[in-house]
Each structure stands twice: as structure tokens, then as C-alpha cells.
Structure 1
Amino acid sequence: MLPQEMADYLRVIQVERGLSQNTVKAYQQDLTTFTKFLEEQHKTVQDVDHLLVLTFLNQLRAKGRANTSVARMVTTLRKCFSYLKKEGLVAHDPMQNIKPPKKAQHLPAVLTIEEVDRLLDVPDLTKTLGIRNKAMLELMYATGLRVSELVNLTLADLHLDMSLIQTIGKGDKERIIPVGEVAVDWLKTYLRDSRPKLLKDKKADQIFLNDHGRPISRQGVWQLIKKLVKEAGIEKDVSPHTLRHSFATHILENGADLRIVQELLGHSDISTTQIYTHISKGRLTQVYDQYHPRA
């Protein structure tokens, strides 16, 4: 159980600062891990100093935690202790001189256009769930939606007559996204022919439903993507986020401006979007090596 001071901090960031439920949950997991460490050391929040934090971080590394995980822990503790110090709940901020480990640059997996086509051809269009799967995949690739945005998408968010959808992303930031004609057609087909059969006598505002007529979960989408990728014979490590990465990479490779891609993806900082320029350059090198006679 979290100390009262940390529990209060989580309440503040959720209610007053409006952070998403997923972000708050991630902070809670980090603070729970740190609390267990304090209990093992027979220490309280007020006892935490610079050396104790370093001991904790070294313990995480010894247990095989990745640099990204340790870096996230540092961020969580830094924000939490900054709040505790500001509220007078601790005498000193032990995180002032703690630096997170440098993150290794990780380029996300991206499908080729041919692999995307194979994946989109997998759903069995003679079945109710097959039509749902087709509409879902087409929409994810057409818009670059995060999986959390996809599962929370409601009927009111669709403006198919204008080929647009609206969604609430990270930090409760709303954005409007254009949708291609193919994805619009499959969405209309799903809403007309498939969704009513899944819904039956239930009620739901969310667009995509599972076979029990309830809104499909993030885990449900993840498991579905893994299954369809395997059926498509794609051997890459693919997750729902891979379609988002592929969407961004393919439109950049076809000449889209980076600022436009930033808006489409809902990134608050363009430096987050710039990772896709590295992927595109990698593709450029690959094409050059393959086709230039002197490469």
C-alpha cells in the first residue's frame, strides 16, 4: 500500500492536472515498486535521501531493468518528490542531482507497404468479426490512431460524410484526422452490416465491439493483431502501435511534411515525430543500395 503522501500525489495529478488514467497507472506502478523497496530498507518517505535513491536505481539495474524503465522511474520519483517538497511533506528533495540513464535510440518496427497489404487481406469478410477486423485495420493504418484512441472512439467521433474523425489523445488533446476513402467505406460497411449483429440488444457508444457486444479492450486489439500478423505470415514483432509507425513512415516517404505528420499523430513535441525521419532515411539507404549500379 502506498504511503499517504504518495497516494495524495497520484490524486492531484489525476484530478487537478488532468493526466490520463494510463499515465497515472504507470506512475502508481513505479511508486509501488519504490514503496516496497523502502519497506525492505525499513525507511519512510521522509528518510529518503540521494544515496538511498541511487541504491534503489542500482538494484533495478541489477534485476535487469532496461534503461528506459529506469529512466521512467527517475521521472516518476522526480515529479513526486518535487510535489512533496513543495507541499512541505519532506524536508529535502532527494532527486535534485539524480540524472536518468541515457536512452538508447530505438527505432520502432515498421511494416513495408506489401506487408501492410498482406495484413489487410487476412480478415475473413464472410464473417461478422472479419468485417470488424477489416474496418479496424483499415482505420488504424489510415489514421495512425493509438490503440487507446481506437478503443475509445465513439459514434459521435465519426464524421464520415466529411471523411474525418475526431479523437482525444494524450493530455486530453483533441485532434481532427482525415480518413481515406477505403477506410471510410469499410467503416460504413462495418457499422451497417456487422456492428448491429455484435451489439444485439446491448447499448454501447464505442464503435468497435467484441463478440460479446461489449467495447473491445486494448488487450483484445493487441491479441487480435498478433493473431492476424501470424496468419499473414509476417515474422516481425508487430503490435497495434506498429500500424501507427507504418502510417507515419509511409506518408513521410511519400513526401508529407514533418509538421503535418506531427499534427496527425498528436505529438506535442516535434522531436518525438523526428524519429520517423531516421526510419525514412534508413529506407532511402536500403533503396539506394538495392538499385544504384555502383552502390
Structure 2
Amino acid sequence: MEQYIGQFLSTLSTQKGYTENTIAAYRNDLGQFAQFIRDQRGGVVEPGEVTPDLVEAYVESLQRSEGGYAPSTVARKIAAVKSFFHFLSEQQLIGSNPALRLNSPKIKKSAPKTLSRDEIERLLAAPRQSAGPKALRDSALLELLCATGMRVTEVVNLRVDDVDWEQGEVICRSKGERERRIPLASAQLPLRDYVDNARAALQNDGSPETLFLNHRGKKLTRQGVWLILREAAEAAGIQTDVTPRTLRHSFAKHLIGSGENLRRVQKLLGHANLSTTQVYRQPPAAEAADAAVPQD
């Protein structure tokens, strides 16, 4: 079955342009499914030998697992299996689709947690309390995350020539050859300051052409971004957990809140489906609960 999973994942990457993180999630979920089927049958099983009863038994095992998966996790794993067998059916690699009657659990969607504008201003001000190349880099990094809504993987993979200074845009290239241009907006000046006055101080002879470098002159990693963000959030006195995804959610929520067209936000975020973007129209769970209580 692993051969067919590999074909499916390759299609997601080359034809649908899914991100590395999304493909990794599919790989993990389908690997778990394949292992379950092997355990049930006591050996290698071809996709055409998988029955609807086996698929349903897998779903039941997820729901009964020790500690229990969250409904959203179960829904994701079911979606991966359904997509996989739909692909095999379309490619005529199986005679019938064993996941056809599979239903996903209903998930109540609420808008992701975001930062207020005041919290974002405090976060962005934190690196400016220090001086030197690191402070300029951190300031540019946080400004870029907040002003563009880019994924952390996209930011750490940016190259110096991905910044179009003349147009005031950053060119974001994903693995599926999709390209989107995002206005730098308020990030342009801090980013220019970093490139002109700090990046060379971090660079050495072996440094890559990636835009953001760490203190050793290497490419800044995802983990490095998380540490920079955590340090800034603590300095800003923000009590809630702040991750790169929090900034991405905040970017989208504030854009829609200011009246930006939903299709435009979808394009800026690089969402394949509009339904993914529509969640930002909903109030966070706490706000929704407050709205249900009559006010004096």
C-alpha cells in the first residue's frame, strides 16, 4: 500500500500544490491507516483488498483509542483516508471505493485565536527595545509575519531576491509552483533596515541566500522563529500563547474585519479553498458566547 500512498502524496504536491506540512500530515495519517490494516490482516494488503468493514473498523479504533483523539483529529484522519481512496478510484487502481460510505464527525468551527491590535503593537515594539543586528532581524521578521500573514515555512524559505522593493511586495513561492505576491505594507521599512544594516553582520562565507539568517550565518529555522516570537511575546507581557500561526490568523481576521474582500484574503493567504478562509468571518468562541448573553 505504501507505493500507492507515495503516488497519492506526489499528486498532492505536484498537481494540487499542497504545502510540505499538509503533505506530512497526510503521510502520517495514511501511514497509521496502513499499519492498522496490516495488523488486522496480518501482513501486506493491497488497496483493492481493503473492505468497507476494515475502513469502518479503523475509524472505530480512532474513536476508542486510549486517551482519545479530538473530534477534529479524527475528522482529519478520516478525510485523508477518503481522499486517498477517491484518488485510487479516479485512477482506476481499485474496483470499488471502500471509503465511500464513510462519514466524518461534525466539527463546530469557530474563528482561530487571534491577537488584538494593541497586542500586536506591543509585540512589534519588543525587539526595538534592543539594538544590533539581531534586534533589527527580529523586528523585520515579526513585522513581515504580521503584515503578510505568511506561513512560517514560507518565511524561512524566502530568498533575498524574493523581495520586490520597487513594487513593495514579497514573492511567496510554494512547493507546488504556486506563486503569490503579497504587499509588504508596514513591513517594508523594517525589512529594508535589516537587509541594509544587519544581514551582512550575520552573514559569513558559507551563508545561504535565504533572507533571514541566524547568529551563525545559517538559514533561520522554524524553531528559531518560534523562539524569537516567544521571547518577544514575553517581553510584551502577552499572557496567551503566541505562535506564527497566531499572527497569520490575526492578519486574516483584521483584514476581514476592516472590510477586505474574502476572495482577496484567500489569495493573500494562499488558501486552495474559500471555505478555509470563511472561518475568519466567525467570532472566536468566547466572543460568540458573550454575544449570546443579553446585554443591558
| Gap change, CA 1:61 and 1:171, over 3 Å in 2 | farther
Deviations 1:250-271 (A, max 9, x none): 2333333333323322333333
Checking the alignment, whether the CA contact within 8 Å between 1:249 and 1:279 is kept in structure 2 is no
Deviation, structure 1 residue 170: 7.5
Checking the alignment, whether the CA contact within 8 Å between 2:266 and 2:274 is kept in structure 1 is yes
Match in the other structure for 1:35: 34
> Counterparts in 2 of 1:210-225, with a 5 A limit?
210-225=214-229
Q: Give the secondary structure class of the aligned counterpart of 1:223.
A: helix
Residues in 2 aligned to 1:101 and 1:13: alpha-carbon distance in whole angstroms: 24
Aligned counterpart in structure 2 of residue 125 of structure 1, from 123, 130, 153: 130
Q: Give TM-score, length-normalised by structure 2.
A: 0.85
| Gap change, CA 1:132 and 1:29, over 3 Å in 2 | same
1:250 and 2:254 are equivalent in the alignment: yes
Deviation, structure 1 residue 145: 1.3
Match in the other structure for 1:56: 58
1:23 and 2:22 are equivalent in the alignment: yes
Q: Give the secondary structure class of the aligned counterpart of 1:121.
A: helix
Structure 1 residue runs without a partner (length 5+): none
Q: Identical aligned pairs, as a percentage?
A: 34
For 1:109, the aligned partner's letter is K
Match in the other structure for 1:137: 142
Checking the alignment, whether the CA contact within 8 Å between 1:129 and 1:211 is kept in structure 2 is yes
Deviations 1:83-121 (A, max 9, x none): 334555444321111111122213211111111111111
Checking the alignment, whether the CA contact within 8 Å between 1:169 and 1:266 is kept in structure 2 is no
Deviation, structure 1 residue 55: 1.3
User: Which has the larger displacement, 39-48 or 142-151?
Assistant: 39-48
Aligned counterpart in structure 2 of residue 179 of structure 1, from 178, 184, 201: 184
Q: Give TM-score, length-normalised by structure 1.
A: 0.86
Aligned counterpart in structure 1 of residue 160 of structure 2, from 119, 137, 155: 155
Match in the other structure for 2:82: 78
| Gap change, CA 1:244 and 1:8, over 3 Å in 2 | closer
Aligned counterpart in structure 2 of residue 265 of structure 1, from 264, 269, 284: 269
For 2:9, the aligned partner's letter is L
User: Which has the larger displacement, 132-141 or 265-274?
Assistant: 265-274
Q: Give the secondary structure class of the aligned counterpart of 1:252.
A: helix
For 1:159, the aligned partner's letter is D
| Gap change, CA 1:23 and 1:267, over 3 Å in 2 | closer
Structure 1 residue ranges (4+ consecutive) displaced by more than 6 angstroms after TM superposition: 280-287
Deviations 1:45-92 (A, max 9, x none): 343211111111121122211222222222221222233345554443
How many positions carry a matched residue from both structures? Answer: 288
Structure 2 residue runs without a partner (length 5+): none
1:279 and 2:279 are equivalent in the alignment: no
| Gap change, CA 1:176 and 1:216, over 3 Å in 2 | same
Match in the other structure for 2:105: 101
Larger RCO (CA within 8 A; separation ≥ 6)? 2
